[in-house]
């Protein structure tokens, strides 16, 4: 039963990643934050360091790009 619940979560995460196009930006992981392309729609993108405070509001349409403050390398790209 846990397997089917996990599969449902995986499907939800995949569907959510398509809403903000996170899957299209996974190539950024491991790259310097200077390589983040300038967005056309700045309202639906957030770039923040992994230790920086951010609002807790969730938007499945917003692309979040998190980088390491010390190295400047992107560590995570996800919706939210």
Q: What is the pLDDT of residue 42?
A: 84
According to the model, what pLDDT value does residue 20 have? 94
Distance, in Å, from the CA atom of 47 to the CA atom of 34, rounded to the nearest integer, reads 11
Q: Where are the alpha helices (DSSP H) in 2-68?
A: 2-20
What pTM value is reported for the model? 0.77
Q: Tokens for 78, please give them.
A: 């996800």
pLDDT tens, N- to C-terminus, the chain (80 residues): 443 343 444 445 555 567 899 999 999 999 999 999 998 878 899 999 999 999 989 999 999 999 999 999 999 999 99
List, in order of start, the domains of the chain with CATH numbers: 2-79 (3.30.10.10)
């Amino acid at each position: 039963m846990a397997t089917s619940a996990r599969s449902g979560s995986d499907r939800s995460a995949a569907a959510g990643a398509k809403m903000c196009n996170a899957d299209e930006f996974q190539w950024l992981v491991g790259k310097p934050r200077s390589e983040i392309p300038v967005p056309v729609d700045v309202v639906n993108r957030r770039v923040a360091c992994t230790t920086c405070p951010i609002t807790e509001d969730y938007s499945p349409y917003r692309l979040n790009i998190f980088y390491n403050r010390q190295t400047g390398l992107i560590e995570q790209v996800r919706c939210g």
